[in-house]
Amino acid sequence: MTTITIQRVLFNARKELEAISDSAALDVELLLAHCLKKNRTYCHTWPEHELTQSEQRCFEDALKLRKDDYPVAYILGKKSFWTFDVEVTPDVLIPRPETELLVEVALEKIADIKNPKILDLGTGSGVIALALASERPDASIVACDSSKKALEVAQRNAVTLKLDQQIEFIHSDWFENITDKDFDLIVSNPPYIEPNDPHLNQTIRHEPYSALVADDLGMRDIHHIIEYSKMFLKPIGLVILEHGYDQHLRTQSSFTLNDFIEIESKKDLAENIRITLAATH
């Protein structure tokens, strides 16, 4: 194996990745820093550093995966969300920055509630529950998922972030195994992509299908959660759901049909309407 410097690797690999990634330069830096076991700044501080054979092999393997559209977060095994990093594996959806909007609104809405009790449906890597727990040490949270493997990842993240005392993880098909019926708040980022969405063959094809796709044009799980939420909320309670950019009207109608009040939708930073919330009487 011939030797190669950081600078040369960054240049060559970026060229190779530009065809498939809009963030080729960043991807390459993250992958290289990962193989060097350093941070990204190191790559720019030491451009003349020559890679060892094992660093080169690690990077070649990572680049090969990335060229097949494999997400950077799965290669690194981690993703930043809110104020922390979480472990991610191909068993969980990679947390998206848009979901931070749901967390922000949830925190605003529970600001005046002492010891809020929260249910996170479809917790995946656990990010929503973890962010809420980290901001509200007085909250108690139940987080469920139908995927046992996803729950294992979420549980590990809770232990790593020392938030495991605040969150109870339950294996459940939505509400099936949820026994408490006195939640102040129910939050969920459920699957909402329709089965024939073309993106499923492209960038998101490596993520778990069951975390992404729902029948009835992507609305099946949203309708289900709205229909059953009331039975699990206190008389005065709130539901906040993330949904696709074109699903807010259908989500609002579903809330109306189920007798919720104060229904409103909110836009994310990209001006897409991505969450809808509603209250009980």
Ligand X SMILES: C[S@@+](CC[C@H](N)C(=O)[O-])C[C@H]1O[C@@H](n2cnc3c(N)ncnc32)[C@H](O)[C@@H]1O
Q: Which residues pair with 279 in a beta bridge?
A: 238, 261
Q: How far is the CB of 180 from ligand X (least distance, A)?
A: 16
Q: How far is the CB of 215 from ligand X (least distance, A)?
A: 11
Q: Which is nearer to ligand X, 180 or 262 (CB)?
A: 180
Could you say which of 43, 127, 178, 273 contacts ligand X (CB under 6 A)?
127
Q: E strands of the chain, at which residues? A: 78-81, 84-87, 117-121, 140-145, 167-171, 183-188, 233-242, 261-267, 273-279
User: Quick one: which segment of 2-10, 91-99, 248-256, 266-274 binds ligand X (CB under 6 A)?
Assistant: 91-99
Asked if residue 213 binds ligand X (CB under 6 A), the reply is no
Burial 172-191 (b: 16+ CB within 10 A, else e): bebbeebeeeebbbbbbbbb
Distance (Å) of CA 174 to CA 4, 86, 207, 255: 51, 23, 20, 17
User: Quick one: which segment of 62-70, 116-124, 156-164, 271-279 binds ligand X (CB under 6 A)?
Assistant: 116-124
Does residue 124 come out as left (phi exceeding 0), alpha (psi in the -120 to 50 range) or beta? Answer: left
Q: Are 6 and 40 in contact (CB under 8 A)?
A: no
Q: Which is nearer to ligand X, 16 or 87 (CB)?
A: 87
Q: Are 82 and 90 in contact (CB under 8 A)?
A: no
Asked if residue 124 binds ligand X (CB under 6 A), the reply is yes
Each residue 11-50 as x (binds ligand X by CB under 6 A) or -, in order, gives: ----------------------------------------
Q: How far is the CB of 139 from ligand X (least distance, A)?
A: 16
Could you say which of 150, 185, 233, 240 contacts ligand X (CB under 6 A)?
150
The two three-digit tokens of residue 13, written as one number: 């690999």
The two three-digit tokens of residue 278, written as one number: 């509603």
Does residue 122 come out as left (phi exceeding 0), alpha (psi in the -120 to 50 range) or beta? Answer: left
Number of residues that bind ligand X (CB under 6 A): 22
User: Quick one: which segment of 19-27, 57-65, 138-146, 264-272 binds ligand X (CB under 6 A)?
Assistant: 138-146
CA 75/CA 111 separation, integer angstroms: 37
For residue 61, give the 3-state DSSP assignment. Answer: helix
User: Quick one: which segment of 25-33, 121-129, 246-254, 255-263 binds ligand X (CB under 6 A)?
Assistant: 121-129
Q: How far is the CB of 259 from ligand X (least distance, A)?
A: 23
Each residue 173-212 as x (binds ligand X by CB under 6 A) or -, in order, gives: xx--------------xxx------------------xx-
Each residue 157-176 as x (binds ligand X by CB under 6 A) or -, in order, gives: ---------------xxx--
Residues in contact with ligand X by CB under 6 A are 93, 95, 99, 122-125, 127-128, 144-147, 150, 172-174, 189-191, 210-211
